[in-house]
Structure 1
Amino acid sequence: MRVMDGLADNTAQVMGPLGETLLQTPSAVALLGDQTQYTGNARSATFRWFTDPAARERYDPAEHSTNSRVNVALLRAAVTRDGSGSHAADLADVLLGTSEEFARLRDRHEVGLRWSDTKRFVHPRVGRLDLYCQLLLEPDQGQSLLIFTATPGTESHEKLAPLTVLGTDQFAADPE
């Protein structure tokens, strides 16, 4: 996670194996809200996606269905990897009992789905952002580094710049 020291001026975050946000740069907090504050099952982005409508607010609604399917497929892979009795299996069991959408999608048995390299966000202050998400994996600890960038010269690049420069200062009043 020391690599984050060199990424302070970028929009980046480190995720744990079940979608727990471990670290965020200030501009990632400005883009997505502070995702490191959660406890218990809510630490998992997948859990929040299916149990907290606010978890979807900064993502383009046109991509919600795909995001749901990918979340289910990734949790299914984690359960397979970690086995019964694992935190992944417990999380899947909790979601089966609390989210009809999760249960319906899990019954489809989709595997191998992955996130798109391009993500569309809807920020409450700057609007829509089309960002490229580079994903770097650290297999021994199951962590991933996500770095969000915009194509230079695009409207998204212009909108991302204030988030990168100002971080959370400008957006501290945003509901997160």
Structure 2
Amino acid sequence: MTVRSTAARTRRNLVRRGVRALVGAAAAVRYPGDHELTGLIADLRAGSEEFARLWARHEVAVEPTPRKTFRHPAVGPITVNCDVLEISDRDQQVVFYSAPPGSPAEEALRLRSVLGTQTIMLEDGTAAR
């Protein structure tokens, strides 16, 4: 395999990953009014026949945002969004948990952040920290 063919394959893979990221995240669908995003997509389509071809395929289906529910003894269930950052060259993932602003989960997380500074008596008579 030549250096040139390896570079070409790497470039194709990067373009495909970029298209998948935009389509997979459904960015254009989620944010149709985002003029910067729609402009970026238009620029990429105009500047690269390969990107335009891959974009037209919409190969990646829209996946819902993964969610996880934690059960805290004092606060109760806290359902958060999970965002995953892939570190492919190290076969690792970094998972970020977040709550939508103004949501009950955000309020529960704020309450949880101060629980360690005081003792709260639960209904069953036990103490939670």
TM over 0.5: no
Structure of larger gyration radius? 2
Q: Which has the higher contact order (CA 8 A, sep 6+)?
A: 1
TM-score norm. by structure 2 comes to: 0.37
